[in-house]
Amino acid sequence: MRKSLSNLSDVVVTLFGLVVVTFLIGRTMPIDPVIAIVGDKAPPDVVARVRLELGLDKSLVEQFWIYLQHLFRGDLGRSVMTGQPVTADILHFFPATLELATCAMLVALVVGVPLGVLAAARQGSHFDSAVRVISLVGQSVPIFVLALIVLLVFYVKLGLAPGTGQQDVVFQGMVPDRTGMVVVDAALDGQWDAFWDALAHLATPALLLAYYTMSIITRMTRTFMLDALGGEYIIAARAKGLSGSRILWRHGFGNITARLVPVIALTFAGLLEGAVLTETVYSWPGIGLYLTRSLLNADMNAVLGATLVIGTIYVALNLLADIIQRLLDPRVTEEVG
């Protein structure tokens, strides 16, 4: 009970710190939010009136209190770029990012975890070396560089992949917007031509993000498995004459599952942030592209709102991973306590 309260207080402090940081960034940036709204050629009296309406004439403490009041109401301000409330914009753009990140995560888990387990089981082999090189490249090369290379080779040169965006022009507007995820919406509506087109557009950026995520998951799985395979319980299992596959997957992998949970949760949260660059390259209409365009348009309400949402997701996923880890392995609670 005491540990749960401590975790909850840590989350509250972290979220409050995140709010403070985003507020201070918005107030210390060289971009004047008033000028971004009225334009740099607006008369001085208009600038002064808008500054007064936004409460920017007040002290920093008073501005922060007003910011908190709006935040508790779910009000992140109004976007200069779209003219809509930032909250409504985020609800509109976030499902596309969630669709992309979820597909990438599923592929990364299906491929990355077995690669890490098998690489650890064959430590020092050519297979292990190949897996380590693949993982190293995935973590070393900037994701936007890989995105540009993939787009150039598979779309421009070979014509094997579709272009940017979620759909071809011919299918845009045909699928009813139910979930914000075009692949899901097309399937729900039974429009299978639009479904396969949306899936093809999703595949390239999703596989790219999956490769980046897989490199992390594979490396961590391999590291955890090497530690597990050196344990005394593995030696005892071998002495009992158990099969190699049972020892590897049930006793070895079974004992590292809880340790993998935080890695998976944080890499998934990282996908939501890393998708910013990928979405920009592929014109994927998610929160990453929204954040980039808002920054280029000096739309600070949108930038800070999107940043706050992504940061909150990080904290929430970290807390969820901690809870799941303790449920899977009670020893974690005992060690901390």
Mean pLDDT for back-to-back runs of 10 residues, the chain (337 residues): 57 80 74 67 75 72 82 82 86 89 92 91 89 87 82 81 81 82 88 89 89 90 86 72 74 82 85 75 85 79 83 82 76 49
Confidence at residue 330, expressed as pLDDT on a 0 to 100 scale:
63
Confidence at residue 334, expressed as pLDDT on a 0 to 100 scale:
47
Q: Which CATH number fits domain 86-336: 3.30.70.890, 1.10.150.170, 1.10.10.10, 1.10.3720.10?
A: 1.10.3720.10
Confidence at residue 1, expressed as pLDDT on a 0 to 100 scale:
47
HEC string of the chain equals CHHHHHHHHHHHHHHHHHHHHHHHHHHHCCCCHHHHHHCCCCCHHHHHHHHHHCCCCCCHHHHHHHHHHHHHCCCCCECCCCCCEHHHHHHHHHHHHHHHHHHHHHHHHHHHHHHHHHHHHCCCCHHHHHHHHHHHHHHHCCHHHHHHHHHHHHHHHCCCCCCCCCCCHHHCCCCCCCCCCHHHHHHHHCCHHHHHHHHHHHHHHHHHHHHHHHHHHHHHHHHHHHHHHCCHHHHHHHHCCCCHHHHHHHHHHHHCHHHHHHHHHHHHHHHHHHHHHHHHHHCCCCHHHHHHHHHHCCCHHHHHHHHHHHHHHHHHHHHHHHHHHHHHCCHHHHHHC
Confidence at residue 32, expressed as pLDDT on a 0 to 100 scale:
67
Confidence at residue 39, expressed as pLDDT on a 0 to 100 scale:
67
Domain boundaries, the chain: 2-72, 86-336
